[in-house]
Structure 1
């Protein structure tokens, strides 16, 4: 009677993995896309050799920010002065609380986004993008943790946990890498359409696409490589005896 029980357990584990693994991929890729720092193409200057970064998070030393989109100098992490950011707060220009762009950084951000001025109101479109970015940032944290949890469950319930672990680690690595690379392409294309908002939207879409493609591609490839390596048997070389 032990054999049917074992078979039932295997079927249960396989069924769990069937729905957990895709859900984990969706959650993880979405979470990664919300967290990565995306280089913005064509933003390098003599005094800005690394160019600007697109992020939903402020630099570590920039506390209490009400902004949701940052296009900033990578070095700002050391002194906390983001270059271009979408804000909802009191606007010194309009003398009221509204959605607007803030521009700092000694003209470096202005040089690459000349259509945007400091304290420039952004209207209804800006309000929608601000709220979407805020929701993406908050939801991204939840998706990121959920993806990690679901991947952990998929490993624990897999009939071949080492194989699944190899898949998960490979998927995590390639997902983050392609989220950055595809986000960079999207940010560049978006900037051509509309510097600022186009940069943010294009970067976000690219990061999502890269994260999804990276996760599921690496997952499939890692499974194939593991199966190939496990199923490969090498013949031992014949021993060669030499006369003393």
Structure 2
């Protein structure tokens, strides 16, 4: 690595380390309600990346974890429930922007880390970015922002449906979205693993575990919001979509 790139990497490492340390202390002290969940997802995904030969080195995996976790935290804080401490209202507005900065730092650092790798050893950046973006979408829509009310109103207005009809159509549409979205997560996981020269068995394990991690995060977080519920049936539906798309990806590889 050249001296300028090394200096930039060290600077980004210092910034990221300081921010992560601050959040780690806040989390361990119980300063923010429920913040363990995005941390748990980020740790799980970081561990799963260890299955992929080209994404396994910490020079690549560390910055990706920072980008991934920063984005999840940012959208977690944007859509959070009201914290149970009055003093937290003064801190809360700064948490999402700070996490967003963390994600940007991770993205820049990750791109630098990939750029200095020999081309034959670079992980498939496009698919890995999609997997991070998918997690950010889950972090946002698993909150009250993803409640079915908006879709029901739109269906009622657009198609002149009764509330009951709009509700039924919304249920079908949301199930289809769940199936397709987690199918794309499974596909992305499989393609990222294949592009990292993982074996078919490892690729399947990585993609399925990733989809399950997202689904568990999604449904558990939904259960923490009034008017929303977590569902084992939805997890099964999510995994069915991931499994189908994963099977297609691996079948095309043969």
TM superposition score normalised by structure 1: 0.33
| Structure of higher CA gyration radius | 1
Flag the structure with higher strand content.
Answer: 1
More helix by share: 2
